[in-house]
Amino acid sequence: MDTQRLVLFVVFSFALLLLWDAWQKEQLPAPAVGTSAPSVQQVPVADARPAAPAVAPVAPGGALAVGARVKVQTDVLRAVIDANGGDIRRLELLKHGDPLNPQKNLLLFEETPGKIYVSQSGLIGSGLPSHKAVFQLVPGEYVMGPSDNELKVRMEWADGSGLKVAKVYTFHRGSYLVDVGYEIQNNGNAAVESYAYFQLLRHGQPPTGDPKFVATYTGAAVYTDKAKYHKVNFADIDKGKQDYPRYSQDGWIAMLQHYFLGAWLPKGDVKREFYTKTAGDGLYAVGVVVPVGALQPGTSKSVSVPLYAGPQEQDRLDSLSPGLGLTVDYGWLTIIAVPLFAVLSFLHGWVGNWGVAIILLTILIKLIFFPLSAKSYRSMAQMRVLAPKLQKLKEQFGEDRQRLHQAMMELYKTEKVNPLGGCLPMVVQIPVFIALYWVLLASVEMRQAPFMLWIHDLSLPDPYYVLPVIMGLTMIIQTRLNPTPPDPIQAKVMKIMPIAFSVFFFFFPAGLVLYWVVNNVLSITQQWFITRRLEGAQSGNVKR
């Protein structure tokens, strides 16, 4: 039965690795190869509506056209808006540090050739300005004052024949949500059918500083209430795959990367068209088209779509738009990961330190599973007490495996011992372990969160490998508390496992290793107490 226990553990571990590998492949698709896009065109779609042009104004060499500029600063972000199309060309998040240099602000949008990631929008209709049009604006700096709750940036365009368009950005205090709107006046003599499109243009590579030893998703995503959440990776965009709903009365479209996202969030029950396209030079455009309506001579209309460009903060996303919280991807154990994060977040609000919160969460989980683990450790302690008798049976029956197996089964039955009971704590812990792994990997709240001493970021591996080494030592202690397998090969495997696991944990987030260390210490304490009590009782029985 010891052999069966080891085989069960190995098979389960191997299955776990296969699942982890499958998840990596799903989250990190093969690198996409950029394709050259055709010239700007309008493609007929449903309701005879022209689709938004998906090709951005990218000059040869991969540079965007540059014009007059406005700099905007609120309490949480700093943006640069260019007169060409009224694009947001640069966006710094003031409360989030750069992954390579935390002293600098994280740059979400930028226009560096090879790293282009910008927000664009335009209008569709005879004579209306697209994202290639040049707007008139007053260059300078717009700074949100201490008493201001919002900040507006206005720019204008006119064609000289009666069409006038104002593009208005509205920034809000304490928010990464920016309202992007158009005010259209038709002072001409002919009616104009109009639509507005809003898109994100991005290169197809993961962001700088993304984890090297774990897989995170970079690509597009579409959500509708009917079809729910769809990822659209860059490879699928290259192939022209459109597994997501193209038309809907609700939903949003986003560009995702580790910890952060940009998303267009149309409001209301309005028919909309989602699109994803290649844009040449390794760039991809994802966006949404919404109707504005017919502009009769002498009339005006307006349209506005919010843009969210910021961190995947879980307590805010779903309040912005239904389903937006799904961009925080916990994988197939979401049902466990979501309540884990909720409890962890509550504990953090109480103690103010994510590392301490992880320790308290570990203790709480241990208390919840205490009866179950106590029963399992009692089984392991009983196996340890039976070890001498098992060894005698092995010496008695030698190579006769069948008789040895029968004798062992009779001994287990007589002593009322379950030889597989000791595997239960690990089996129960593994789903929690994997779920917590994804919580620490996907939660921006944990990004650059310090614990104490040398650990300045719980989402990154321990820089000095102290926690993995401590974890290895605790595993060695646990191994010595466990019953020694009668088979010499099994015994050697059990001795090597702590070292192998420690090396594996060198590349795991420090917060996850901290959880495992605390869990091991608590398990050792519980197991030592149970083993000592059972061995003491057995010793007393022998003396009598």
* pLDDT tens track for 186-242: 998 889 999 999 999 999 999 887 666 567 899 999 999 999 999 999 999 999 988
Distance CA 298, CA 291 (A): 19
* Nearest alpha-carbon partner for 128 in 154, 162, 152: 162
* Through-space distance between the first and last CA atoms of the chain, rounded to whole angstroms: 30
When pLDDT is cut at 50, 70 and 90, the band that residue 54 belongs to is very low
pLDDT at residue 25 greater than cutoff 50? no
Q: How confident is the model at residue 393 (pLDDT cuts 50, 70, 90)?
A: confident
Q: Which of 440, 441, 433 is nearest to 471 (CA)?
A: 433
pLDDT band at 145 (very low <50, low <70, confident <90, very high): very high
Q: What is the pLDDT of residue 494?
A: 67
pLDDT in tens, 429-479: 778 878 888 888 888 998 999 999 899 999 888 989 899 999 888 888 877
d(CA 114, CA 427): 46
Give this prediction's pTM: 0.80
**pLDDT, mean over the chain:** 81
Measured CA distances, 95 to 102, 106, 207, 417 (Å):
10, 8, 18, 57
The answer to whether the CB of 465 falls within 8 A of the CB of 518 is no
Q: Can you tell me the distance from the alpha carbon of 465 to that of 503, in angstroms, rounded to the nearest whole number?
A: 9
Residue 512 phi, psi (nearest 5): -70, -40
- What percent of the chain shows pLDDT beyond 90? 48
Are the CB atoms for 308 and 177 separated by under 8 Å? yes
Band of the pLDDT at 526, cuts 50, 70, 90?
confident
Tell me what pLDDT residue 214 has: 67
Question: What ranges do the domains of the chain cover?
Answer: 2-20+341-543, 67-327
pLDDT band at residue 422, thresholds of 50, 70 and 90? low
In this prediction, residue 427 has a pLDDT band, given cuts at 50, 70 and 90, of confident
CATH 3.40.50.970: does it fit domain 67-327?
A: no
Summarised one tens digit per residue, pLDDT across range 340-361 is: 999 999 999 999 999 999 999 9
190 token code pair:
């002919």
d(CA 43, CA 197): 14
Phi (first) and psi of residue 154, to 5 degrees: -120, 135
One-letter amino acid of 191: A
Q: What is the pLDDT of residue 164?
A: 96
CA separation, residue 370 to residues 223, 262, 365, 456 (Å): 41, 43, 8, 32
Confidence bin at 132 (pLDDT 50/70/90): very high
E-strand ranges in 98-176 read 105-109, 117-124, 140-143, 150-158, 163-172
- Angle subtended by helix axes 488-505 and 510-543, to nearest 10: 150
**pLDDT value at position 133?**
95
pLDDT at 371 over 80: no
Amino acid at the residue 155: M
- Are 270 and 158 spatial neighbours (Cβ–Cβ below 8 Å)? no
